[in-house]
Amino acid sequence: MKLEETCMRKRISVCMLAVMMSVTSMYLFVVQGAENETGSETETSIEVKSDAEIDTSVDPMSANKLLVKIRVIQPEEILDAYFGKENWDENLLSEEQTIEGSSRNLYDNEKQKILITSDGIVYETILVTYKEGRPDEESMIEEWEKLLQTLNIDIMDEYIRQTDYLNGDRPTYTYYIQQDGIKFSPETYSIGKVGNSTDYFGVFVSVSVEKDGYIIKMQRLPEIVQIEEVSQRQRITDEEALQAVYDAVWDALQIPALETNPIADSLQVEVQYIPVDMGTNAGEYVYDIGFYVKQLIDQDGADKLWHFTGLVDATMPYCYSFTMAEDSDEEFQTEHLKISDRKK
């Protein structure tokens, strides 16, 4: 049975949501995917420019379409993964009263406290606090990566380490989730009309180092409900994907593409699993192959470079959403790293 038969096909209507974020000077525009009138070309090779090379034996253009629901990990499963099965005392696990649908569980022994919270919808958090002194950062990295692996959370080799200069140089690590070597989009966006919109939250795991331990924040962990095999998609070109973003920019902001002063050779196009529809059942989403598109631009009179980013369908020039933001990160030192490099 195809996913089209098990999900409600929503036609995305024109809408725009502008959100100003004063800290990052980012403007987020949620718009109807803009379709480019030029026809797409059939391509079987995958020619993408990305920050990290996708290591996979699966051709993204023949990757499965996925019906996904949000995975909620039970506290007992987390404690089994952390300590080992039957290596923790269930009498030390307590549950606190929370609002409906949310949970808050605390495990408290002589050496550490582990607080596990979940809203049952988007976020699940694990707070590890050491009572006898915090281990060094390398030891904690090894601990939390092993925990994620034991919980069968399939993280990619690439990850990001950011140092927060405004908060005591606190480091935060961001890991991406994959399926068959293809990244689930970490981007968040909404579609639909104001008052009747649907939010699609990005998929990722972040870990922040704290004074006495660390916090794991898991957002929208995917659980595969159903797959639909795809023999071969007809991939649009990178130029068509970028044009779809510019069409969306024009629809929302009335800015012609040529007036954005794009920076030569700065186009990035990365294959990702992106949410494209809702399933029949509440909390289920259809994920299909799409592109994360980023183009650096030179705003006239601006001291810094800006960029457009967009999520675009892989088979037609259709932009689900785009952002326009300053291409700077002065508050953080960002490092793009690989787990495999540490294991050498």
- Is the pLDDT at 48 greater than 70? The verdict is no
End-to-end CA distance of the chain: 44
* Mean pLDDT calculated for residue range 243-261: 87
Q: The pTM is what?
A: 0.82
Q: In this predicted structure, what is the pLDDT of residue 42?
A: 34
pLDDT tens per residue across span 123-138: 999 999 999 999 999 9
Confidence of residue 304 (pLDDT cuts 50, 70, 90): confident
Place of tokens 């809203």: 119
d(CA 269, CA 90) in angstroms, rounded, equals 48
d(CA 111, CA 52) in angstroms, rounded, equals 39
Higher confidence at residue 152 or residue 249? 152
Contacts of 230 by beta carbon, 8 Å cutoff, 6+ apart? 62, 63, 64, 65
pLDDT tens per residue across span 315-331: 999 999 888 888 876 66
Q: In this predicted structure, what is the pLDDT of residue 96?
A: 84
How high does pLDDT run on average in the chain? 82
* Mean pLDDT calculated for residue range 309-316: 95
- Is the pLDDT at 103 greater than 60? The verdict is yes
Higher confidence at residue 222 or residue 283? 222
List the one residue out of 242, 270, 49, 309 whose CA is nearest residue 181.
270
Residue 165 CA to chain centroid, in angstroms? 24
Q: In this predicted structure, what is the pLDDT of residue 301?
A: 62
Range in 87-96, 182-191, 203-212, 314-323 with the lowest mean pLDDT? 182-191
The conformation of residue 338, written as its DSSP 8-state character, comes to: E
Q: In this predicted structure, what is the pLDDT of residue 57?
A: 56
Higher confidence at residue 145 or residue 320? 145
**What contacts 24+ positions apart, CB below 8 Å, involve 196-203?**
197/15, 197/17, 197/30, 198/10, 198/278, 200/275, 200/285, 201/122, 203/176, 203/177
Q: In this predicted structure, what is the pLDDT of residue 113?
A: 97
- Is the pLDDT at 152 greater than 90? The verdict is yes
Bridge partners, residue 342, by sequence: none
* Mean pLDDT calculated for residue range 299-318: 86
On whether the CB atoms of residues 205 and 222 are closer than 8 A, the answer is: no
Instruction: For the chain, give the percent of residues with pLDDT over 90.
Output: 58
List the one residue out of 290, 51, 47 whose CA is nearest residue 187.
290
Q: In this predicted structure, what is the pLDDT of residue 44?
A: 30
Write down the domain spans for the chain.
Answer: 3-41+62-68+228-332, 69-224
